[in-house]
Amino acid sequence: MLLNLIRHSVDDDMKTNNVIQNRTTSRTRLKILSSMLAGIFNVLLVSPSIASGSDANPVADATSSTKEQSGNNIDSIVSTTPNAAILLYHHVSSSTPASTSISPEAFKSHMEYLDAHHTVVSLQDVVSAIQHNTTLPENAVAITFDDGYANILDNAHPILADLGFPYTVFINPDEIGVGPKQLTWEQVIAMHNDGVVFANHTLDHLHMLNGEQAMGERAWLEKVWQNVESAEKKIEDKLDISLKYLAYPFGEYNTALANKLKAEGYIGFGQHSGAVGPSSDMQALPRFPAAGPYANLATLKTKLNSLAMPVTQSSHKDPRMTTRNLSSPISLTIDSDDVRLTQVNCFFGGDPIETSLEENVLTFTLDETLPIGRSRVNCTAPSNAQSGRYYWYSTPFFVADEDGNYPD
């Protein structure tokens, strides 16, 4: 049935990724030498597990795929600390807005790379592992889409279904079957029956922070929350599922909204970058954009291998800004000996910014004026134990225009 319904019809991450790639390249020769030496020792020494004929236990999970790496079949290595990268796509098409689109050919190359080098798991598995501090496969990745476009079914679903990859689509129920190039409810139901997960992106893709300052927090929050609950009910009525997952349209949220999500038992997803792990904010989980200027697979590889920066405290309490300048430096408390803070770098607008370090507290200063709309500071630091992997943390900022609204 589903196949019959298939119709035939920006910024910091790139600079951050380039710096990481340059560092990683400088270590390549050492890694090759280490691999050669390790091979020699493996010939000389027989491990107890091999001698006894035992094998490592693969991760048995119906919603994940254990893949091949470098042409050899390997079992999934289980990470004792849950960590995953969540990818964000919108359009899978060559004829839609370039800023939010990836061509079907490039999308297929992304998925083939994941098939060879990562373990794709469901978004529910990632959330559950973080909530309960349970294991995930090493190099776990979850795939998400925002907005419910028909080209997800036309161009992405066949690739994902062929590889057996689970994925989640965040939809606006009032746009389904109505908005241009949107899925129909018949298609959504058929995809749901085929295993695709659908979740809440508000009724109509509003800017959730619009009017907050003019209306006052209580009236504003009541209005936007009615939108969220109405969208959740429509999804439940159509699909008999209510995950209570909300992807903020445009990634915009504030502390009051995040607190409301937490009180109502919702999980929130943003559009700022970074991996997710036990220290992540469950009402503002980051996702890596993987389309438009971020579709380059060469730069995406580093992000896919990133680790969630274990930030236990931030002095920056609300991403919604009332001015366009920071009143004071922002400090992040980082709780892990594996983060090499002596080599941390932070970036804003693609350029490095001033940082300081006192024990495990990283402080960055931002002298630039924040732009109207969305921006962020990305901070990265290498892992001591896992060569070539970097911890990643993003601090988002949302600034309204003079009318209290936010641009697309």
Mean pLDDT by 10 residues, the chain (408 residues): 44 52 45 42 32 28 34 49 97 97 98 98 98 96 98 98 98 95 98 98 98 94 98 98 98 98 98 97 98 96 97 97 95 96 96 96 96 98 96 98 95
Same structural domain, 204 and 282: yes
386 token code pair: 């896992």
Q: Does 147 map to a domain?
A: yes
* Residue 12: φ, ψ to 5°: -65, -40
Provide the residue range defining the domain that includes 355: 309-408
Same structural domain, 256 and 167: yes
Same structural domain, 296 and 325: no
Q: Angle 53-59-63 (CA atoms, 0-180°, nearest 5)?
A: 150
Predicted confidence at residue 179, as pLDDT, reads 84
Predicted confidence at residue 62, as pLDDT, reads 30
How far from 183 is each of 174, 280, 302, CA to CA, in Å?
11, 32, 32
Same structural domain, 301 and 319: no
Predicted confidence at residue 18, as pLDDT, reads 53
Domain count along the chain: 2
**Considering 265, 281, 305, which residue would you say is the last residue of a domain?**
305
Predicted confidence at residue 371, as pLDDT, reads 97
Predicted confidence at residue 85, as pLDDT, reads 98
**Considering 287, 305, 323, which residue would you say is the last residue of a domain?**
305
305 token code pair: 């291998």
Predicted confidence at residue 45, as pLDDT, reads 33
Same structural domain, 159 and 280: yes
Same structural domain, 280 and 328: no
Q: Does 160 map to a domain?
A: yes
> If we measure between CA atoms, which residue out of 220, 203, 202 comes closest to residue 211?
220
**Considering 305, 320, 350, which residue would you say is the last residue of a domain?**
305
Predicted confidence at residue 63, as pLDDT, reads 33
Predicted confidence at residue 79, as pLDDT, reads 61
Residues 6+ apart with CB under 8 A from 244: 200, 232, 264, 265, 266, 267
Same structural domain, 262 and 373: no
Predicted confidence at residue 2, as pLDDT, reads 53
